[in-house]
A and B are shown apart, each in its own frame.
Chain A
Amino acid sequence: MYKYDEYDQQMVDTRVEEFRDQVRRRLSGELTEDQFKPLRLQNGLYLQLHAYMLRVAVPYGTLNSTQMKLLGDIADKYDRGYGHFTTRQNIQYNWIKLEDTPDILAELAKVEMHAIQTSGNCIRNISSDQFAGAAADEIIDPRPYAELLRQWSSFHPEFLVLPRKFKIAVIASEKDRAAMRLHDIGIKMVRNDAGEIGAQFYAGGGMGRTPMIAPLIRDFVPLNQLITFAEACLRVYNRYGRRDNKYKARIKILVHELGRDEYVRQVEEEFAHLLTQPIEPPLAELERIKAHFTGPDFEQGLSDELDLRDPDFRLWVGRNTTAHKVPGYVIATVSLKPVGGIPGDASADQIRLMAQLGRDYSFDELRVTHAQNIVLPHVRKADLYTVWKALDEAGLGTANLDTLGDIIACPGLDYCSLANARSIPVAQKISERFGSAEKQAEIGELKLKISGCINACGHHHAGHIGILGVDKKGLENYQLLFGGSEGADTSLAKIIGPGFTEDGVVDAIEKATQVYLANKQGEERFLDTYRRIGMDPFKEAIYG
Chain B
Amino acid sequence: MVEVQFRFRDDEPVNDPAVTVDAFSEQSNATAVRIEPGDDARDLLPQLDRLALVEINFPAWTDGRGYSAARILREAGYKGEIRAVGDLVIDMLGHLQRCGFDAFAPEKALNPVDAQNAFSRWDNVYQATAVDGRQAIWAKRHPA
Contact = CB atoms under 8 A, between A and B. Distances in A.
A157 B95 contact: yes
Contacts of B9: none
A154 B126 contact: yes
A155 interface: yes
Interface string A9-45: 0110010011001100100001000010011000000
A121 interface: yes
A500 interface: no
Contacts, number: 103
B144 to A, nearest CB: 9
Contact of B142 (A14, A162, A273, A284): A284
Contacts of B89: 35, 39
Contact of A278 (B37, B71, B128, B140): B128
Interface in B90-144: 91-92, 94-96, 98-99, 111, 114, 117, 121-130, 132, 136-142
B49 interface: no
Interface in A31-67: 35, 38-39
A332 B75 CA distance: 50
Contact of B141 (A7, A10, A278): A7
Contact of B67 (A39, A157, A277): A157
Interface stretch (B10-18, B23-31, B56-64): B56-64
Q: Which 9 A-B pairs have the closest CB atoms?
A: A161-B64, A157-B98, A157-B95, A281-B138, A277-B130, A285-B138, A7-B137, A158-B67, A151-B126
Interface residues of B, number: 40
A159 interface: yes
Contacts of B128: 278-279, 281
A159 B125 contact: no
Interface string B39-79: 01000000000000000000001111101100100010000
Contact of B99 (A152, A158, A282): A158
A389 interface: no
A288 B139 CA distance: 12
Given A18-B121, A30-B111, A238-B67, A156 B62 contact: no
12 contacts: A7-B137, A14-B123, A38-B62, A39-B91, A151-B137, A158-B67, A160-B92, A235-B68, A273-B75, A277-B130, A282-B138, A284-B142
A277 B132 CA distance: 12
A323 B95 CA distance: 46
A11 B126 contact: yes
A394 B117 CA distance: 48
A157 B126 CA distance: 10
Contacts of A157: 67, 94-96, 98-99, 125, 127, 129, 132
Given A38-B62, A160-B95, A7 B67 contact: no
A155 B126 contact: yes
Given A157-B95, A157-B96, A279-B127, 11 more contacts: A22-B91, A25-B114, A155-B122, A156-B126, A157-B99, A157-B129, A160-B95, A162-B64, A235-B68, A285-B138, A288-B141
Given A39-B91, A160-B95, A282-B142, A238 B117 contact: no
Contacts of B71: 158
A265 interface: no
Nearest to B128: A279
A22 B114 CA distance: 10
Interface string A255-282: 0000000000000000001000111011
A239 interface: yes
A73 B144 CA distance: 44
A297 interface: no
A5 interface: yes
A531 interface: no
A532 interface: no
A284 B96 CA distance: 29
Most buried by B among A158, A239, A278: A158
Nearest to B76: A273
A158 B122 contact: no
Contact of A277 (B75, B139, B141): B75
Contact of B62 (A17, A158, A161, A238): A161
Which of A5, A25, A154, A243 is packed against the most chain B CB atoms within 10 Å? A243
Nearest to B136: A281
Nearest to B67: A158
Contacts of B63: 161, 243
B13 to A, nearest CB: 24
B80 to A, nearest CB: 19
Nearest to A30: B111
A161 B67 contact: yes
Contacts of A243: 37, 63, 65
A176 to B, nearest CB: 28
**Which of B94, B95, B139 is most buried by chain A, counting CB atoms within 10 A of its CB?**
B95
A10 B124 contact: yes
Nearest to A240: B65
A159 B64 contact: yes
A278 B64 contact: no
A418 B111 CA distance: 34
